[in-house]
C-alpha cells in the first residue's frame, strides 16, 4: 500500500460523502473537503480541512488553495437518483475539466465514483470487463466520464480507480432511494406503499459499509481500474424492502404491481466483489 496522507474529497457533505469522510478519518487520512458553502456553514468532523470553492468554477484556483494533494476522490454528482435528468449530460464536461485541473496540479492518484447503471441491461455478475451499454442519462454520463478520463490521463503517470457502486441503503432520511421514500411514507402515516413486482434481484449495500470500501480502495494504489464496491450477492427487491420494513417496525405494506418494472432493470444483477475483497483483506 502507498501511504496517503492528504485526500481531497468532493461531495464530502453529501449522502455518501459524510460516511466516506468518517471512514477516511478512521483510517488516518487527512481529509480536505471541497465545499461551495462559506467556511463554517457545513459541519464536518474534527480534523477535516474545508477547502471553499466550486469544483466547476475555477478548479485550478481550488487546487492552489488546497495545497499538496495526494489523492482526489470525486463523489460529487447532482441528481444521482433522478436517472434521466438532463443535468447529467449538461455537467459531464465540467467533471472532466475538474480532473484535468487535478492533473495540472500534480495529483497522481484519481478516484471517481461510478455506478452499475453504466452497464445497462445485464444479467448476472458485473466485473471490470463487462461491456457497457447504459440506458439512462445518468449511466451514459458516468460511462462517458470513465472513458474520457482514461483518454486524458493516458501517458501522464496517473493512477486511476473507478469505484462502481450498486444499490445503496441506510441513513435513509438523507437519501432518495426507495428505502428513504418508504421511511418518509411511514412517518407520514401511510399504511400502503405503491410498488413494482419486486422480483428483480440486486446487489444491496449499506451506506456505511460502502463508505468503508470506498475509503479502503482510495487509500491504496495496488489494485486499480474498475473496482466494484458491493456485497457480491443478489437479493430480490421485495425481500430487501420487506426486511427493511420489518426491521424498522413500520406499519406499512407494499402494493405490488402498482408500478411497472423499469425496462432497463435486469432480472438479476450483482457485482463481482473479488477486487474489493482483495483490498480489504490486504488492509486487515
Report the candidate in 97, 91, 102 with the shortest Cα–Cα distance to residue 62: 102
Residues with a known catalytic role: 138
> 88-124 in b/e burial notation, b at 16+ Cβ within 10 A?
beebbeebbebbbbbbebebbbbbbbbbbbbbbebee
Q: Please report the pLDDT score of residue 1 as a whole number.
A: 46
Per-residue pLDDT reduced to its tens digit, 63-105 = 999 999 999 999 999 998 899 999 999 999 999 999 999 999 9
Q: Please report the pLDDT score of residue 2 as a whole number.
A: 47
Phi, psi of 7 (to 5 degrees): -125, 120
Per-residue pLDDT reduced to its tens digit, 95-147 = 999 999 999 999 999 999 999 999 999 999 999 999 999 999 999 999 999 99
The structural domains of the chain, ordered by start, are 6-168+206-230+271-283 (3.40.50.720)
Low-confidence ranges of the chain (pLDDT < 50): 1-2
Neighbours of 247 (CB within 10 A): 8
Amino acid at each position: 500500500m502507498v501511504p496517503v496522507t492528504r485526500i481531497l474529497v468532493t461531495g464530502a457533505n453529501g449522502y455518501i460523502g459524510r460516511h466516506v469522510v468518517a471512514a477516511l478519518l478512521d483510517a488516518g487520512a487527512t481529509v480536505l473537503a471541497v465545499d461551495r458553502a462559506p467556511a463554517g456553514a457545513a459541519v464536518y468532523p474534527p480534523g477535516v480541512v474545508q477547502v471553499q470553492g466550486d469544483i466547476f468554477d475555477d478548479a485550478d484556483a481550488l487546487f492552489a488553495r488546497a495545497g499538496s494533494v495526494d489523492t482526489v476522490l470525486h463523489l460529487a454528482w447532482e441528481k444521482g437518483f433522478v436517472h434521466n435528468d438532463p443535468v447529467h449530460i449538461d455537467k459531464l464536461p465540467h467533471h472532466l475539466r475538474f480532473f484535468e485541473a487535478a492533473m495540472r496540479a500534480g495529483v497522481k492518484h484519481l478516484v471517481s465514483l461510478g455506478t452499475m447503471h453504466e452497464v445497462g441491461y445485464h444479467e448476472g455478475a458485473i466485473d471490470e470487463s463487462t461491456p457497457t451499454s447504459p440506458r439512462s442519462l445518468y449511466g451514459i454520463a458516468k460511462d462517458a466520464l470513465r472513458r474520457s478520463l482514461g483518454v486524458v490521463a493516458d501517458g501522464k503517470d496517473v493512477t486511476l480507480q473507478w469505484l462502481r457502486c450498486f444499490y445503496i441503503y441506510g441513513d435513509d432520511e438523507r437519501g432518495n432511494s426507495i428505502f428513504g421514500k418508504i421511511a418518509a411514507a411511514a412517518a407520514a402515516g401511510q399504511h400502503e406503499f405503491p410498488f413494482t413486482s419486486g422480483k428483480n434481484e440486486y446487489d444491496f449495500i449499506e451506506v456505511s459499509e460502502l463508505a468503508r470500501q470506498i475509503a479502503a480502495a482510495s487509500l491504496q494504489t495496488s489494485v486499480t481500474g474498475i473496482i466494484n464496491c458491493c456485497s457480491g450477492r443478489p437479493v430480490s427487491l421485495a425481500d430487501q424492502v420487506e426486511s427493511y420494513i420489518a426491521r424498522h417496525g413500520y406499519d406499512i405494506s407494499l402494493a405490488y404491481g402498482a408500478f411497472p418494472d423499469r425496462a432497463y432493470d435486469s432480472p438479476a444483477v450483482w457485482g463481482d466483489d473479488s477486487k474489493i475483497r482483495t483490498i480489504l483483506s490486504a488492509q486487515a
